[in-house]
Structure 1
Amino acid sequence: MSIDWAALGQVFGVSLVVTVGFVGVFTLGILGASRKPQQAEAGQDTAAAPAGAGAGIGPARAAAYACFALCAATVAYGINLIVA
């Protein structure tokens, strides 16, 4: 019985990079989703805000959704690799 150390090293390296990347992307998603609107950070009353203020999801929230979608795609790809 012999161990292919080169292949084992490749698997370790790829697993390490993907894991660190996945955790980083998920962390960016959490950070983007936890951002408050600028009015709330400044202590202004959001009820007194103009009608158009705060409309939409904002760039931070959109980036957070993109990060979560990338995480979901990564998990789905991993499941696909296991099943196939």
Structure 2
Amino acid sequence: MHIKWNALAQTAGISFGVTVAVVSVFALGILAMSRREAALSAREADGAAAGGGRSALLAGAYVCFALCAAAVVYGLVLIAAP
């Protein structure tokens, strides 16, 4: 049996890179959601007028979560492909 070490190293490197990317994007989504919640609680405490930054944070969080879901679905498609 012959092991193709180069192909194994490439697969491991790409898997590691994609994992770090997906986790980082998910963490950015969580950060955006927490900053939105902090802005909402600060607004309630101050009684200030509504700002547009909160909706941008929410949209950014949704984009991050959608990218993570797309990466997971793509991985499942690759696994299930004949």
TM score, norm. by length of structure 2: 0.82
Q: What's 1:71 paired with?
A: 68
Give the structure with the higher percent helix: 2
- Residues 1:15 and 2:12 are matched in the alignment: no
Query: 1:4-55 CA distances to partner (integer Å, 9 max, x unpaired)?
Result: 000001001100100000100000000001112267169413xxx44xx247
RMSD: 2.4
Pairing of 1:3-82 with structure 2 (within 5 A): 3-35=3-35, 36-37=38-39, 40=42, 43-45=45-47, 49-50=48-49, 53-54=50-51, 58-82=55-79
Q: Where in structure 2 are there 5+ consecutive unaligned residues? A: none
Amino acid at match of 2:74: Y
**Residues 37 and 54 in structure 1, CA contact (< 8 A), matched pair in contact too:** no
Structure 1 runs, 4 residues or longer, greater than 3 Å off: 54-57
Amino acid at match of 1:37: A
Shift of residue 57, structure 1, vs aligned partner: 5.2
Higher-Rg structure is 1
Aligned pair count? 79
Distance 1:16 1:41, change over 3 A: farther
Percent identical:
52
Alpha-carbon distance in structure 2 between the residues aligned to 1:11 and 1:34: 34
